[in-house]
Amino acid sequence: MKTAYINTPVGLLELKGDAEGLASVLFKDVENVVISEKIPTELRDAASQLWEYFEGKRKEFNLKLSPEGTDFQKKVWEQLQQIPFGKTMNYQQMANKLGDPKVIRAAASANGKNPISIIIPCHRVIGSDGSLTGYAGGLHRKKWLLEFESPAPQQTLF
């Protein structure tokens, strides 16, 4: 498993993967991590596509993913990838799309265990009342990502 650290507008990201695909993209809030000067071959596409995303040049990712999880978690993560850039879904809608309105808590739990932040867009899932609910990367990052993806950015009045 190869590892790389890249700096982004939402902080440091740790990328892990191998020839089988990208296994994780996690936020790192540590001070002694060194940004990778040379990205391992196995992670170059992921790093490049993430930089394009943050430059506003990419709205969809085209990467081989290999997250580890249960079959149900993987089903939830596949559903997350169906949420378009600039759109959101609430947990109830997600449970309904999974075929069982009663799996709302299990779906929320699987969403929170997503190991591939941003690329598997768990930040696009919000509370039924439109509130920003938990996010492993912190609510400040979730807010930033949703505003960044918003089709109608807020304008200043002055």
Rounded distance between C-alpha atoms, residue 125 and residue 98, angstroms: 14
If phi over 0 gives left and psi between -120 and 50 gives alpha, with beta otherwise, what is residue 61?
beta
Which is catalytic among the residues 104, 122, 126, 145?
122
* From 8-12, 36-40, 132-136, the region with the lowest mean pLDDT: 132-136
Rounded distance between C-alpha atoms, residue 123 and residue 119, angstroms: 10
Q: Is residue 10 among the annotated active site residues? A: no
What percentage of the chain has pLDDT greater than the value 70? 96
Task: Return the amino acid letter for 14.
Answer: E
pLDDT digits (tens, 9 = 90+) for 95-138: 999 999 999 999 999 999 999 999 999 999 998 888 888 888 88
The whole-number pLDDT of residue 66 equals: 96
Nearest to 67 by CA among 137, 129, 118: 118
Contact between residue 25 and residue 12 where contact means Cβ atoms under 8 Å apart: no
pLDDT digits (tens, 9 = 90+) for 64-74: 999 999 999 99
Say which residue, 77 or 36, is predicted with more confidence: 77
Burial class (CB in 10 A: 0-12, 13-18, 19+), 45: middle
pLDDT at 154 over 60: no
